[in-house]
């Protein structure tokens, strides 16, 4: 007999949604165990004996659900969400129908619609939690075009941390970098920066740059941890191999999420 597990972990492992989303389902009373609504996050279920439903639909629980992790080159103008009520293009619209039939994928974190670059998609809720939880500080590397020419003092202020509405950003790596060849002649009064963040607050780079007087003109995520885009063109994706996934998770070993 299997050991009882917390519902949010159990359902997230099935690829239904991220653990945070499953927690929201539980609090909203959308999850039932053996016909009884469960609304407490600490509740557990036995995957081999208990009957679990979400919105009245019985969820078959695979013992070892297949885990998929894709690296996508998100283009500008595409939303980092699974669906949009106004019909705008989302990252899932970039996948062929075979992937949509195979499993339910969702983005790990977000990139603004007006930003481009590396974005992970997965069906593993536990992996999503690990990669997005603030305590893990997974580094993400960006190439940023800003208006004007920041001074070294301004860059050092950015590196040390900037106050944003009541909190101070974590130290970051910020350096000048060359412009991409195809952008050399655009926006002559601008600078290119390589920024490495160890946290992921909403629109953080744009808000910091605005606060420092150098608004962002374009923003591209080059890498997530050790994973770079390589030869992936905008709109293309590939599945991570086991070695890449291991390298991605290696800096997170020693941290454990609640079970």
Q: Give the separation between CA 14 and CA 106, rounded to whole angstroms.
A: 13
Same domain, 81 and 124: yes
Q: How many domains does the chain have?
A: 3
Contact between 257 and 129 under an 8 Å Cβ cutoff? The reply is yes
Domain assignment present for 63: no
Per-residue pLDDT averaged across 44-67, rounded?
A: 81
Same domain, 104 and 124: yes
Same domain, 146 and 198: yes
Q: Which domain holds residue 74?
A: 70-133+232-252
Same domain, 240 and 127: yes
Our measurement of the distance from residue 259's CA atom to the centroid of its chain's CA atoms, rounded to an integer in Å, reads 21
Q: Which residue has the tokens 């509405």?
A: 165
210: domain CATH number? Answer: 3.30.70.1560
Helices 19-27, 125-132: axis angle to 10 degrees equals 110
**59 pLDDT above the threshold of 90:** no
SS3 108: strand
Per-residue pLDDT averaged across 43-52, rounded?
A: 85
Same domain, 81 and 200: no
Same domain, 123 and 239: yes
Same domain, 199 and 76: no
Same domain, 129 and 144: no
| Residues labelled catalytic | 112
**257 pLDDT above the threshold of 50:** no
Give me the pLDDT at residue 64, please: 62
pLDDT tens digits, one per residue of 82-129: 888 898 999 999 999 888 776 788 899 889 999 999 999 998 877 887
**256 pLDDT above the threshold of 50:** no
Same domain, 239 and 129: yes
Domain assignment present for 258: no
Give me the pLDDT at residue 181, please: 65
Same domain, 237 and 116: yes
**Any idea which of 17-21, 50-54, 221-225 has the lowest mean pLDDT?**
17-21
């Amino acid at each position: 007999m299997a050991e009882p597990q917390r519902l949010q972990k159990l359902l997230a492992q099935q690829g239904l949604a991220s653990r945070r989303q499953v927690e929201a389902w539980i609090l909203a009373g959308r999850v039932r165990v053996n016909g009884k609504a469960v609304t407490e996050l600490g509740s557990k279920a036995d995957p081999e004996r208990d009957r679990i439903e979400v919105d009245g639909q019985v969820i078959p629980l695979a013992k070892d659900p297949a885990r998929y992790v894709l690296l996508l080159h998100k283009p500008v103008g595409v939303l980092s969400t699974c669906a949009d009520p106004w019909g705008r293009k989302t990252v899932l619209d970039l996948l062929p129908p075979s992937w949509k039939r195979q499993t339910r994928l969702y983005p790990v974190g977000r990139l603004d619609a007006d930003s481009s670059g590396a974005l992970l998609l997965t069906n593993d809720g536990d992996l999503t939690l690990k990669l997005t939880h603030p305590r893990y500080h997974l580094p993400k590397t960006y190439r940023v075009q800003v208006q004007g020419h920041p001074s070294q003092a301004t860059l050092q202020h950015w590196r040390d941390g900037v106050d944003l509405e009541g909190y101070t950003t974590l130290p970051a790596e910020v350096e000048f970098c060359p412009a991409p060849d195809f952008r050399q002649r655009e926006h002559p009064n601008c600078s290119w920066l390589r920024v490495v963040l160890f946290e992921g607050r909403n629109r953080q780079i744009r808000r910091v740059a605005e606060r420092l007087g150098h608004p962002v003109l374009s923003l591209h995520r080059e890498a997530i941890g050790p994973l770079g885009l390589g030869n992936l063109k905008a709109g293309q994706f590939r599945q991570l191999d086991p070695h890449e996934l291991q390298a991605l998770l290696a800096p997170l070993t020693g941290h454990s999420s609640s079970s």
